[in-house]
Amino acid sequence: MARESFDKEIQFLRMLVLTSGAYNRQQYADRLGISIHTFDKTIKRLKEIANAVYQQLPADKGKEFAETVRYSYLDSSDPMLLFLFRAKSLKESESQRLSLLLAAMHEKALTAMELLDLCCGSMPAELALPDEKTIRGDLKYLEQVGVIQKEPGTRPFRYRTYNDLITVLSPEELQDLYDFVDIMANTQLPSVQGYLLRDGLKKHMARNPDDYGRAEPFLYKYHYYSRILDEAHLFTLLDAIRSRRFVSFLYFSPKKETSYASKNTNPLFERDTEGSQEMILPLKVVYDHQYGRWYLLGRHPRHGIKKYRLEGLTQISEGDAAPEADYEAHTSDLEQRIRQSWLIDTGKPVTVKARFFHPGPGISNFVKERVLLQGQWGSITEETGDSFIYEIVVNGMVEIKPWIRSFGSSCEVLAPLKLREEMIAEWKEIKSYYESL
């Protein structure tokens, strides 16, 4: 299947959202590691995809795409950058062929040869006719993604569309399912597949408006656009983890000036990129709620445990499978090394001690409630009428610092001394921003 990679478009959209369109064309092209010509082609393609998926977008074709993004975000509670996942990443012939196959299998179960005859008789004259191998590849793909189901029995196997979810439920049950999926997609991780399921249910319900007449009870404003874009790689990595397979990718560190490089196939136009080619055995994927970031943790053949931000991964491909014994040993080693990590830090353990102040008499003690909720395995060791002391042993101080800082004046770091001094320096710097001129 020609299921295209959207690496370039993903990196472009992430930069566009994070900078709110502050860069000019040349700056965008430089950051992406592409030419102005390629940049303009990418803009045109994204406009076409967005206008095809979101009919409510402005009709003004000359409008900057950054303005289009801002318009849709303010106009709708639906996360606009999801349009990339709804885009058709198949060739025209494949789209036509899959549509014919699904329509035929919706009526009754058919064999691969029957479907081949149907396609050869129904495909437009200007498109190439498929062969048996192509049809069987289509059926395998559709079965993998859960669209069709193989009927029980002997060869030749018959296939039908798999729509049991909507046929066995009553209208009331489908409405409840839609509301549940809507809530989970907007509040849990990952989100993309939930949104696609919700949209499929909405289309089915729209065909029978008499049974589903009530308005949607919930509206959301989606935060952290980047986590939607990162999910383009998430399920590829989870599949590699399940199958114990190595993955290779071109990685761009967040500290680098560029975030993408074109994949040149002509050796005359090859050029060095600032990305690094990596091959690791993926072991774990972690999400950071504090900043809305996904991380990949894996075992490098030479450098041991390594960590990557998903936003820097491009050109991902799966490799050979690792022996089960090796995989279990690497997983056990990783779990041991991050056992005391606030998130994914594998540094030396350090005891953090902080005093938290109660908000005051007659006020709900939201500070203590939050510490108990988010404090992980830490514990309250001492408590007085106006404060309490919280202690935790963590790997390093970098990851816990934003959490401590978020309490503002309700928290005072007591130990270690280095962390206390760093917090003092940071608050002095913040204070200097607000000093009278």
DSSP assignment string, 309-337:
EGGGEEEEEEEEEPPHHHHHHHHHHHHHH
Rounded to an integer, what is the distance from CA 276 to the centroid of its chain?
Answer: 22
Buried b (16+ CB within 10 A) or exposed e, 261-299: beeeeeeeeeeebebeebebbbbbbebbeeeebbbbbbb
Range name among 109-113, 203-207, 224-228, 416-420 with the lowest pLDDT average: 224-228
pLDDT, residue 76, reads 53
Distances (CA, A) of 127 to 89, 93, 102, 120, 121: 17, 6, 18, 10, 12
Point out the least confidently predicted range of 93-102, 210-219, 295-304.
210-219
Please tell me which residue, 77 or 348, carries the higher pLDDT value.
Answer: 348
Least-confidence region, from 215-219, 303-307, 376-380: 215-219
Instruction: Judge whether residue 271 has pLDDT over 80.
Output: no
- Band (pLDDT 50/70/90 cuts) for residue 103 is confident
Quick one: average pLDDT of 332-339? 95
Residue 61 has pLDDT above 70, yes or no: no
Residue of 218 and 65 predicted with greater confidence: 218
Token couple for 192: 């993309």
At 295, is the secondary structure helix, strand, or coil? strand
What does pLDDT average to over the chain? 83
CA distance 161 to 415: 62
**Would you identify the CATH topology of the domain 225-263+271-337?**
SH3 type barrels. (2.30.30)
Stated as kind and residue range, the H or E segment containing 394 is strand 387-395
* Span 31-56, pLDDT tens digits: 887 888 888 888 887 777 766 665 54
Structure tokens of 84?
């990339």
C-alpha span between 27 and 252 (Å, rounded): 17
Dihedral sign of CA atoms 103, 104, 106, 111 in order? negative
Q: Which residues pair with 227 in a beta bridge?
A: none
Examine the pLDDT at 86 and tell me if it is beyond 60.
yes
Model confidence at 74: pLDDT above 60: no
The set of residues, in sequence order, having a beta carbon less than 8 Å from that of 99 and lying 6+ positions away, is none
Class for domain 349-433, per CATH? alpha beta
Could you tell me if 119 and 135 are in contact, meaning their C-beta atoms sit under 8 angstroms apart? Answer: yes
Residue 266 has pLDDT above 50, yes or no: no
* Phi and psi at residue 44, to the nearest 5°: -60, -45
The helix/strand/coil state of 376 is coil
Residue type (1 letter), 422? E
Going by C-alpha positions, the residue among 162, 136, 135 that lies closest to residue 149 is: 162
Q: Taking residues 167-174, what's their average pLDDT?
A: 86
Give the count of alpha carbons within 13 A of 199, CB side only. Answer: 14
- The structure's pTM equals 0.77
Q: Which residue has the higher pLDDT, 175 or 3?
A: 175
pLDDT in tens, 229-258: 888 889 889 999 999 999 999 998 877 666
Distance CA 87, CA 98 (A): 15
Query: Which candidate, 311, 398, 390, 383, places its Cα nearest to that of 346?
Result: 398
Domain 92-162 bears CATH identifier 2.20.25.10: no
List pLDDT tens digits, range 399-426.
999 999 999 999 999 999 999 999 999 9
**What are the E-state strand segments in 91-181?**
110-111, 148-150, 158-161
CA atoms within 13 A on the CB side of 105: 29
What would you measure as the largest C-alpha separation in the chain, in angstroms?
84
Look up residue 387 and give its amino acid.
S
Output the six-digit token pair for 292: 């809305």
